[in-house]
Chain A
Amino acid sequence: MTERKRIDIVEGKAGHPALCVLPEIEKEDELFEIIWTLREDGKLTIDQIIQSCSLPECENILQDLSKKGWINIKGQAVELLPKGEKRARELVRRHRLSLRMFYDLFALDGAEAEACKFEHILSPEVTDSVCTLLGHPPNSPDGKPIPRGECCSMFKQEMKPLVGPLADIMPGDQAKIVFITPGSHSRLDRLSAMGVVPGSVVKLHQKKPSYVIQLGETMIAVDKDITKEIFVKKV
């Protein structure tokens, strides 16, 4: 991962559509993504790439990539060479998994901008963890397929994610709270005052007519919406 160490992480608050300030390596990444996406749509030509690309030095980078043996250019036709194919595949996988994560877990607007930062800093191990955490999702939120990783085939039989919303476990199950993604600060304050914090073990008693959970000897009735924001790992 020597290449990635050079990357400066762009500062920006969650939800804030910070611009992707692109160092050289990330500019290349952007082109790989464009190539992958255009190929999915069956519109992979040099002209299309240049049209979709926001960078002024687009053509130069393409030539550069070709020289380094990532891609092969023949007139209008572009082809990913094996190592380019691998890099593009991993990039797109990271990008779409990041999108999925921001969209599903944190319900953030402007997830595209966040994901575009995130995809560059995920290591392969973390990518697989995110994939597992999200339950090996097949599609990104916009419906595009997420390239499968090793973790996906390994867990084919066991598709259950390790961590999921409390709302999804079965009544009678016990689980440990891993993290909470609250809709509001006051909600989190209230829950934490009753002992609902990461690390606490909860038991789900019932889902209807209202959700009832138990922490230690405390029983609490809560809205379903709240249990969707509490992410747990079964114990």
Chain B
Amino acid sequence: MHDHGSNDGERYRDSNLHKVLLIGNPNVGKSALFGLLTGRYVTVSNYPGTTVEVTYGNAVLNRTRTLVIDTPGVNSLVPMSEDEKVTRDILLTDRAGVVVQVADTKNLRRGLTITLQLAEMEVPFILDLNMDDEAKSRGILIDQEKLSQLLGIEVVKTVAIRRSGIDKLLKGIQHPRPSSITVRYDDAIEGGIRDITALLPEANISRRALALMILAGDESLKGWLHANLQDHVIEDIEKIRQDVQSRFNNSLGYLINQRRLKKADEVLSQVLSLHEAGKGSAIAFHLGKWSMHPVYGLPILLAVLYLVYQFVGVLGAGDAVGFLEETVFGEYLNPWAAKIVHFIVPVPFLQELLIGDYGIITMALTYAIAIVLPIVGFFFIAFGILEDSGYLPRLAVMVNRIFKIMGLNGKAVLPMVLGLGCDTMATLTTRILETKKERILVTLLLALGVPCSAQLGVILGMVAGLSGLATTIWIGSIVLVMLLVGYLAAKIVPGEPSDFVLELPPIRVPQLMNILVKTAARVQWYLKEAVPLFILGTFILFVGHKVGALEYIQKLTDPLVVGVLGLPSKAAEAFVIGFLRRDYGAAGLFMLAKNGLLDPIQIVVSLVVITLFVPCIANFFMMVKERGLKTALTMVAFIFPFAFAVGGVLNWILRTLNVTL
């Protein structure tokens, strides 16, 4: 949800700066360490897959200007998803700097399989055993010196979120070495490695490591191979691979992993000692267990939703908005602004532009700062707590079966829930999904029916004044539409669904500082991204109003808005600005409802339409970037009429059945 500055890459790639590259399994604290080293904020959360892009940051480490690079977590350097590929590619193509492998001390076995791969690559690196506190509290002790001796590299211990051990890490960075540890594979595989290395060009990583990737059947390496080798050589290599593979029933990738894990176990048995576990983690452990229990899980989910609703919908959208909008803006800021503008700007036209019905201060800023900002702020706090607690992946366990209906699995809940924060960033996060089919489906569902925090907040504010039945109808319609569209799209979009394999992080007590910093970063991002668009939207309305286009559009859309949806003519304005941002459209409806211009049925219908409405401009661009222009346009072309159709049907049903809300 925070812009990770993906374009920085090009700028930094060839610079001669000293480089430090952070690499490791998912959810081991790479981003926390990155923040600590650079002072630059990147989202830190308690679930695997928070970082899906490479992030660059400048720092002065050991009195040297250094470029620190944060990467998405990997379970293997033979990538299984797009975010893992990003990390492998940077090792492959970037000029080597110092690699810092960050490992979760309590999960060292999996960390060591990465260590062994880095050793095979022959890159100079050091190993950082992070989260040492958690390991200790579970009674896991690692003999750091012995490990350093076995691996032949520097090993340091840190607790990144507490800033402990950083000085030792900085000292360690000065002495990176290629690891001396080696893994010997089955003779047939070793033979294949020998044959393939003979054909490979010089690269940033050792030929042996490349050969192993090829043997493991790394599809994502094809691009690199084609760029560096002639076609007939690639064919020869593939022949060698098939020849080796034909001697085994299991995939070579599996055999290679198995051998590495065996080596990791050998190392581990010499450095790991178990002691009695502390009590601290027991409560968190049980909470984690209950949150995905088939019986207790549901009340916990409902309780979480209720608390979020109370916090965001009632406290944020009710009290905070009431205070800011009516008191701060209504009684002070807007009247003051009116006086000042009248005094400073004597031109009536400009006066109207600033403080008129469609004024930049009276409409754009009031909407952005007084209505949406407090809601978004409260939502970000609630969301940050949820993210850091480790609850979200457990939610995936709860909903896995429902998601199967839509051709997805529980893992897709992560981008979907992130979409409740911001659909744009969530669309980027679809990279953690394994198949193209899943990425397309989730992108569509995000664009179609997942309201972002800003929009959701405004909607919660409107719903707060309605009956429970109205809320149920709104949620029910959206969920039903998503299930239906997901189900049908899963039939149309080619490809296979993937397995549900998701790592569950431990339940942790959220760190107040991280929540505050994260919320601040997101609010800042919101202001930077949304406010200019709010101003632009208002300006379009202002011009439209001045030249009479607005009335024309209203007249043009009356049959649709008034006839089919049964909404007042003025609601067309909300939909027009909804093209820029859905939350801005929702804010327009919020004002209509607040002024008593909408009856309950109209509120529900308009909410359903604006929830399903076309994605905002930023999200559209992200869809184009991640899925391609054609796919993005197809999705929008479907969503736009579809949203109105659903609204029309809902209106017809509610009116025909004469439902009183």
Which of B216, B258, B289 makes the CB contact (< 8 A) with A197? B258
- A interface, by DSSP: helix, strand, loop or mixed? mixed
B304 to chain A, nearest CB (A): 16
Which A residues, 149 to 190, have Cβ-Cβ distances below 8 Å to chain B? 182, 185-190
Distance in angstroms from A170 CB to nearest chain B CB is: 15
User: B251 within 8 Å of A by Cβ?
Assistant: yes
Chain B residues in 8 Å Cβ range of A209? 292, 294, 297, 397-401
Contact count band on A:
20 to 34
Q: Is A22 an interface residue (CB 8 A)?
A: no
Q: What band does the interface of chain B fall in when counting residues whose beta carbon is under 8 Å from A? A: 35 or more
The answer to whether B110 touches A185 (Cβ under 8 A) is no
The answer to whether B109 and A195 have CB atoms under 8 Å apart is yes
- Please indicate the chain B residues that have their CB under 8 angstroms from the CB of A223 in the complex: 400, 409, 499-501
Task: Kindly state whether residue B356 has any CB partner on chain A within 8 Å.
Answer: no
Q: Is A194 at the interface (CB under 8 A from chain B)? A: yes
CB distance from A192 to the nearest CB of B (A): 4
Contact with A along B254-285 (1 / 0, CB 8 A): 10011001100100000000000000000000
Taking a contact as CB atoms closer than 8 A, the residue among A188, A193, A199 that contacts B76 in the complex is A193
Whether B393 contacts A221 by the Cβ 8 Å rule is yes
Query: Inside 8 A of A197's CB, which chain B residues have their CB?
Result: 254, 257-258, 261
A206 in contact (CB, < 8 A)? yes
Within 185-235 of A, Cβ neighbours of B (below 8 Å) are at 185-195, 197-200, 205-206, 208-210, 212, 216-223, 225-226
Q: A206 → chain B, closest Cβ, in Å?
A: 7
Given contacts A14-B249, A220-B504, A221-B504, contact A193 B138 (CB under 8 A): no
Chain A residue at minimum C-beta to C-beta distance from B288: A219
User: CA A199 – CA B398 in complex, angstroms?
Assistant: 29
Enumerate A38-76 residues with CB–CB distance to B below 8 Å: none
Q: Which of B250, B293, B398 has the most CB of A within 10 A?
A: B250
Q: How far is the CA of A205 from the CA of B400 in the complex (A)?
A: 16
Which residues of B479-510 have CB atoms within 8 Å of chain A's CB atoms? 499-506
Indicate which residue in B80, B398, B409 contacts A190 across the interface (CB closer than 8 Å).
B80
8 other A-B residue contacts (CB within 8 Å) besides A199-B265, A216-B107, A221-B502: A185-B254, A189-B257, A191-B501, A199-B261, A200-B261, A217-B138, A220-B504, A221-B504
In the bound complex, residues from chain B placing their C-beta under 8 Å from that of A185 are 217, 250-251, 253-254
Which residue of chain A lies nearest to B297 when distances are taken between CB atoms in the complex?
A: A209
Per-residue interface assignment for chain B, residues 396 to 417, with 1 indicating a CB less than 8 Å from any chain A CB and 0 otherwise: 1111110000000110000000
B113 contacts chain A at the CB level, 8 A cutoff: yes
**Is B504's CB under 8 angstroms from A190's CB?**
no
Question: Given A189-B216, A197-B257, A226-B499 in contact, is the A212-B76 Cβ separation under 8 Å?
Answer: no
Binding site for B on A (CB under 8 A): 14, 182, 185-195, 197-200, 205-206, 208-210, 212, 216-223, 225-226
B425 in the interface (beta carbon within 8 A) = no
B297 close to A189 (CB less than 8 A): no
Asked if B500 contacts A210 (CB within 8 A), the reply is yes
Verify A189–B396 contact, CB threshold 8 A: no
Question: Which of B140, B396, B410: most chain A Cβ within 10 A?
Answer: B410
In Å, the complex CA distance between A223 and B409 comes to 9
Q: Quick check: B501 and A208 within 8 Å, CB to CB? A: no
Q: Assess the B107–A218 pair: CB atoms within 8 A.
A: yes
Q: A210-B400, A218-B110, A221-B396 are in contact. Are A189 and B501 (CB under 8 A)?
A: no
How far does the Cβ of A185 sit from chain B's closest Cβ, in whole Å?
Answer: 4
Complex Cα distance A190/B140, Å? 26
A64 CB → nearest B CB, Å:
38
What is the CA–CA distance of A226 and B400 in the complex, to the nearest angstrom? 14
Instruction: Tell me, yes or no, whether B62 is within 8 Å of chain A by CB.
Output: no
List, in ascending order, chain B residues with CB within 8 A of A186's CB: 80, 251
Collect the chain B residues with CB atoms within 8 Å of residue A199's CB. Answer: 261-262, 265
Query: Which residues from chain A contact B140 at a C-beta distance below 8 Å?
Result: 217
**What distance in Å separates the Cβ of A183 from its nearest Cβ neighbour in chain B?**
9
B294–A206 CB distance below 8 A: yes
State how many angstroms separate the Cβ of A163 from the closest Cβ of chain B: 18
Instruction: From the candidates B80, B251, B501, name the one contacting A221 in the complex (CB within 8 A).
Output: B501
When distances are taken between beta carbons in the complex, the residues of chain A under 8 Å from B499 are 187, 190, 222-223, 225-226
Residues 363-412 of B at the A interface (beta carbon under 8 Å):
393, 396-401, 409-410
- Does B442 sit within 8 A of A, measured CB to CB? no
> Closest chain B residue to A219 by CB distance?
B504
Name the B residues within 8 Å of A221 (CB-CB): 292, 393, 396-397, 400, 410, 500-504
Tell whether, in the assembled complex, residue B110 and residue A210 are in contact, meaning their CB atoms are under 8 Å apart. Answer: no
Most buried by B among A191, A208, A219, A225: A219
B residues less than 8 Å from A206 (CB atoms) = 289, 292-294
With a cutoff of 8 Å between Cβ atoms, the chain A residues found around residue B398 in the complex are 209-210
> Which residues of chain B (211-266) have a CB below 8 Å from chain A?
216-217, 249-251, 253-254, 257-258, 261-262, 265
Which residues of chain B have C-beta atoms less than 8 A from A220's C-beta?
501-504
Closest-CB distance, A180 to chain B (whole angstroms)? 8
A188 touches B254 (CB 8 A): yes
